[in-house]
Amino acid sequence: MKSTPWGPSQHEEILADGIIFYSTASHGGIWLSAKRQKQLNYSDNWLKSPTWWEEDCDWAIPFAFFADDIRKHGTANRLDESLRAARETIKHVHPNFIL
């Protein structure tokens, strides 16, 4: 069980190496390894953390940025639909982030 900013994780889904979605009883988000944080080099999210990207809006940035790696890993559900949602979320919530 992983400790998250929202409490202990209840479920994890590995999206790609160093990219894991964690859910808790009340919330969740994407965790990035140190290597992935360096690749993304962006942390203007709700938690102001390059490690954690909450599931409401911030998830969209690492999901879209690492879309090719997530696709290659092959475990994300409804990837194309989620990628469209991520791009729309970025346009409305993180307009300063350029893919």
pLDDT score, position 77: 78
> Per-residue pLDDT for 98 more than 90?
no
Q: How confident is the model at residue 64 (pLDDT cuts 50, 70, 90)?
A: very high
Res 72: pLDDT: 95
Domain-wise residue ranges, the chain: 3-93
- Exposure on the CB side of residue 99, measured as CA atoms within 13 A: 17
| Residues forming a β-bridge with 32 | 19
Q: Quote the Cα angle for 11-41-64, to 5°.
A: 55
> How big is the chain, counted in residues?
99
Model confidence at 1: pLDDT above 90: no
